Amino acid sequence: MARTQLQRARDGEVTAAMERVAERENRDPEFVRQQVADGQAVIPTNHAHDALDPMIIGREFATKVNANIGNSEETSDLQGELEKLHAAVHYGADTVMDLSTGANLDEIREANVEHSPVPVGTVPIYEAIKHVDEPADLTRDLLLDVIEKQAEQGVDYMTIHAGVLLEHLPLTDGRKTGIVSRGGSILARWIEENGRQNPLYTGFEEICEIFAEHDVTFSLGDGLRPGSLADAGDEAQFAELDTLGELTRTARDHGVQVMVEGPGHVPMDRVADNVERQQEVCDGAPFYVLGPLVTDVAPGYDHITSAIGAAEAGRAGAAMLCYVTPKEHLGLPDREDVRDGLAAYRIAAHAADVATGLPGARDWDDALSEARYAFDWRRQFDLALDPQRAQEYHDQTLPGDNYKQARFCSMCGVEFCSMRIDQDARDADGEMSALDDETDLDDSPAAEANLPPVGTHDTSGVPEEIEINGVTFTPDQGHADD
Ligand code: SF4
């Protein structure tokens, strides 16, 4: 039987996947192996996922971003799903989760695995529930059959809500928003109606055996995650987390890779505490957080409310951020929502990497800043997180090729471009460091040079007025009607 990355790492083997990951992250392959062997990082790589380019999830590596894709009862077609996969990978998703709940689940899942260069995750209970009339009719055998089939299809990681226990459910009484995880709510209903323990918990060792055979990575679901700030950090959330710690150790005993999912909705000042607590309870298993949203008041903008929490979570040690789109709580995201959600989360992930001092992370910022200061617009676009959007926004007001070297943009206008004024001052008087505490700034040539240098630059290529979408801009003032 083929062995898992974890088993091979423990045996001291640097696998081809570890070599590839080391190359992508610019790290020593032996360091990668050690992180995997210690369970501090995972490389989700189902043996049957041939199109995969291996990647790693762990706090010592670049913070990763997951994009959820998939259909719903209302919208289902294979081509549309593959377009979503393409959009997600194109805009920078490190993994995708196929959360389809509509028609043609097998066909869509197999196509996603076949075409995806990034790990594919699923939540198998979404398929299992479609085989029964009521959640209470789910059986352990049915759940295991679905999990095994998806493992055979090449799914790299699966969310398993095995931590929702019978004894936890009373702890959710009195919550403002109850149980908001889809998997968590289905299992809670099953437990209540059958009066028995969660079948994913009682069947956990069998799931481990399936995962070990195919090298599927656990993403231990937080079925009792808070769905509002009011419920954040309550007894139910942390009781489940303790169970996830126990399950982490069980999975590792079977040689199976594990990451752990986290909340949800958390006030900003408590995000870091949540990460530190998970790291302690789950022995450093990579933390995969869903946001968290740091306020509940902005439906339509929850890619922003959650990216704020995600950046803080990443800074505190979360290894992967599950994106949220502007449609969160409101509807199924389309391609443009996927783009906006991924941009928000890639910003959060990169901001976290800069803050934690990940080797090389700041180089990107420095390169873009240099291009910006040099008015090298094309390089600035190329380096931008979303190059197409950066150029579109620039070209809305200054579309001509001649503006790709212009020493201003339409934001401040040619007269008030502070970077140009600053550069002119430096050109006139040398670096500002020539100034010191004793310099009389009022009497210095630099002060003169820092006055708006009206008439000292060549504006012959700049039109007097630019009209865009009915709004007139003047080069030196911005909006003509300001
Ligand atoms: S005009 Fe303003 S925003 Fe545009 S490049 Fe100059 S300083 Fe930057």
Q: Is 247 in the pocket of ligand 1 (CB under 6 A)?
A: no
Query: According to the model, what pLDDT value does residue 475 have?
Result: 42
- The verdict on whether residue 417 carries a ligand-binding annotation is yes
* Tokens representing residue 447 in the block: 């002060």
Q: Which tokens in the block code for residue 261? A: 């999912």
Strand ranges inside 56-135, DSSP E: 57-58, 64-69, 95-98, 120-122
Average pLDDT over residues 53-75: 91
State the closest ligand 1 atom to the C-alpha of 375, by its place in the atom list counted from 1.
Answer: 5
**Separation of CA 429 and ligand 1 centre (Å):** 21
Q: How far apart are the first and last CA of the chain?
A: 72
CA of 387 to the centre of ligand 1 (A): 18
Give the pTM. Answer: 0.88
On whether 329 is known to bind a ligand per the annotation, the reply is: yes
pLDDT digits (tens, 9 = 90+) for 253-296: 999 999 999 999 999 999 999 999 999 999 999 999 999 999 99
d(CA 237, CA 177) in angstroms, rounded, equals 13
Flag whether 171 is marked binding.
Answer: no
- Show the tokens assigned to 85: 């996969």
Ligand 1 pocket, residue 418 CB under 6 Å? yes
Separation of CA 360 and ligand 1 centre (Å): 27
Phi, psi dihedral angles at 344 (to 5 degrees): -60, -40
Residue nearest to atom 3 of ligand 1 (CA): 411
User: For the chain, what percent of residues have pLDDT higher than 70?
Assistant: 89
Rounded-to-integer distance, Cα 41 and Cα 319, Å: 9
Could you tell me the distance, in angstroms and rounded to a whole number, from the CA of residue 417 to the centre of ligand 1?
5
Give, using CA atoms, the residue closest to atom 4 of ligand 1.
409
Please give the average per-residue pLDDT across 164-180, as a whole number: 96
Helix 140-153 with 105-115: angle, nearest 10 deg: 30
Is any atom of ligand 1 closer than 6 Å to the C-beta of 374? no
Per residue in 365-399, pLDDT (tens digit) is: 999 999 999 999 999 999 999 999 999 999 999 99
